[in-house]
Amino acid sequence: MTEGRIAVVTGASSGIGRAVTRHLARRGVHVVAAGRNAERLAELAEPAGESGELGESGAPGDGPGRIVPFAGDITAPGHTEELLAAAEREWGPADIFVASAGLGLPGTVLGSDPSRWEELVQANYLAVLRQLRACAAEFVKQAEADGGARVRDLVVIGSTVGRQVSAANPVYGSTKFAVHSLVEALRQEVCTHNIRVTLVEPGFVRSGFQAAAGYDAAWFEAIAEENGPLLTPEDVADVIGFAIGRPKHVHLDDIRLRPTRQRA
Ligand SMILES: NC(=O)c1ccc[n+]([C@@H]2O[C@H](COP(=O)([O-])OP(=O)(O)OC[C@H]3O[C@@H](n4cnc5c(N)ncnc54)[C@H](OP(=O)(O)O)[C@@H]3O)[C@@H](O)[C@H]2O)c1
């Protein structure tokens, strides 16, 4: 159900977005891989299939997918439109969009660094809102043209702390609570077009996230000791691949996954 499709993945230079990009390409999806770190994105553009060979035509569905890197900042207005246009130039209109780019912030309301709040809200909330709007508008346009003949997927990475209040991480968590409500509202707005808007809420995932946010390494290793083995980005990619691989009439719209031993 994924072969022959065309995707845009944000946050593809690291962690979950990178694993999703590779997972989709292995399954025959062509992917525009977005992030700021152009060097890390370029590494992804290596042939992605088991054999490393593309099909003869290079068209979606003909052999493993191709990965085209696209460097840019998700907080820039118009960025989503540029990503969708890049996919269309390469292969045709995208029908999968995975919004994985985001960042963390250590600390409580009193303890977190207020000078970082704006960057957090820009990336984790406003940029996601812009991506949802631009992508849903494009998907609705496509669905109106083909009568919703094919399914289209918009997947957003939330978090368990966007579902349950975390006293240790409430500022970051509040951006994920906001995204949770947006995703469900948009799902209701566009579902009749056969557009699936899906929230994926992971618990602890070992990725570039902890270092990028500046979480204390010893604290994180204590968390890993208590709750581990932690999820890997590939675990999350596998679940996303399963969800978007369901038949057109089946929507796994809200998926929480945690390390088995993670209590809260
Ligand atoms: N790791 C966890 O425990 C965990 C748990 C639940 C939810 N999440 C969520 O999962 C998503 C992915 O996180 P991850 O674990 O994969 O972290 P990661 O390894 O740090 O990856 C984050 C990605 O976001 C991109 N990014 C951040 N700010 C950006 C910006 N302004 N413009 C463009 N790209 C930007 C980074 O790209 P560049 O570095 O190239 O800019 C990177 O590719 C995030 O939304 C995060 O909140 C993570």
Tell me the DSSP string of 143-163.
HHHHTT-S-EEEEEE--GGGT
- Taking only the tens place, the pLDDT of each residue in 52-111 is 333 344 444 456 899 999 999 999 999 999 999 999 999 999 999 999 999 999 999 999
pLDDT for the residue numbered 45 = 85
pLDDT for the residue numbered 2 = 80
Instruction: Determine the distance separating the centroid of ligand 1 and the alpha carbon of 242, expressed in angstroms.
Output: 21
Q: Locate the ligand 1 atom nearest the alpha carbon of residue 160 and give its number.
A: 6
Position 36 pLDDT exceeds 60: yes
pLDDT for the residue numbered 59 = 47
- Taking only the tens place, the pLDDT of each residue in 118-135 is 999 999 999 999 999 999
Q: Would you list the domain boundaries of the chain?
A: 6-257
Query: Which residues form the pocket of ligand 1, taking CB atoms under 6 Å from any ligand atom?
Result: 11, 13-17, 35-37, 73-75, 100-103, 123, 157, 159, 202, 204-205, 207-209, 212, 233
Instruction: Determine the distance separating the centroid of ligand 1 and the alpha carbon of 21, expressed in angstroms.
Output: 13
- Six token digits for residue 83: 């990503």
pLDDT for the residue numbered 195 = 98
pLDDT for the residue numbered 51 = 39
Topology of domain 6-257, per CATH? Rossmann fold (3.40.50)
Q: Locate the ligand 1 atom nearest the alpha carbon of residue 10 and give its number.
A: 34
**169-195 mean pLDDT:** 98
Cβ atoms of 238 and 23 closer than 8 Å: yes
Instruction: Determine the distance separating the centroid of ligand 1 and the alpha carbon of 20, expressed in angstroms.
Output: 12
**Beta carbons within 10 angstroms of residue 93's beta carbon:** 16
- Six token digits for residue 190: 């566009």
